[in-house]
Amino acid sequence: MFDALVTRARVKSPWVLHFDCGSCNGCDIETLACLTPMYDIERFGMINVGNPKHADVLLVTGTVNHRNKKVLQALYEEMPDPKVVIAIGACGLSGGVFRDAYNVVGGVDRVIPVDVYVPGCPARPEAIIDGVVAALGKLRQKAVPTAAGAGGNGRFHPRMKATGSS
């Protein structure tokens, strides 16, 4: 019962971590525009956090290169289960205009599993919000086994304080 309540709260109020792998910053500006009063994603309960241990959704922009792929993997591994990843922009999907550069690994999906792709160069804030909504549906699907006790890592979400041994 308690796990189902926590799962429902996480899906209704996702905490989002944004990571820029590095590129022209067009998608970063559009992602941060979602936080402005014009789009105001916080009214839907979404909060931009800086700690991967508190995040439910990972927004990744930019081209993955050899210098930042280990950081991206570490951020992904530090996030609690269930989690979803959104690749934003042409660079996040395929490497974009930088894909032929010697130091570019490619899209985000070459390093970590991606649940939702948001195309565009740069991706529009409306498309990013639609991608987050699609990711919440996937988060809900991933969370169902965890709520029933059939999956997950058995840990409490970092936002919740454990009141005993788990």
Higher-scoring residue by pLDDT: 157, 127: 127
Q: pLDDT by residue (tens digit) across 31-69?
A: 888 888 888 888 878 888 889 998 889 999 989 999 999
What pLDDT, on a 0 to 100 scale, did the predictor assign at position 161? 42
pLDDT at position 115? 93
6-10, 14-18, 93-97, 106-110: lowest mean pLDDT where? 6-10
Total domains, the chain? 1
- Residue range 113-131: average pLDDT? 91
Q: 7 or 34: which carries more pLDDT confidence?
A: 34
The enclosing domain of 138 has a CATH number of 3.40.50.12280
Residue 163 is assigned to a structural domain of this protein = no
Residue 146 pLDDT greater than 60, yes or no: no
Tell me if 164 is assigned to some domain: no
pLDDT score, position 110: 92
Mean pLDDT over all residues of the chain? 81
The pLDDT of residue 145 is 57
| CA distance linking residue 128 with residue 131, whole number of Å | 5
Query: Can you tell me the mean pLDDT for 98-123?
Result: 90
Task: Indicate whether 85 belongs to any domain.
Answer: yes
Give the residue numbers spanning the domain of 113.
2-146
**Residue 103 lies inside a defined structural domain of this protein:** yes
pLDDT above 80: residue 126: yes
Q: Tell me whether residue 140 is in a domain.
A: yes
Is the model more confident about 89 or about 9? 89
The predicted pLDDT at position 139 comes to 84
- pLDDT for residue 159 is more than 50: no
Q: Is residue 160 part of a domain?
A: no
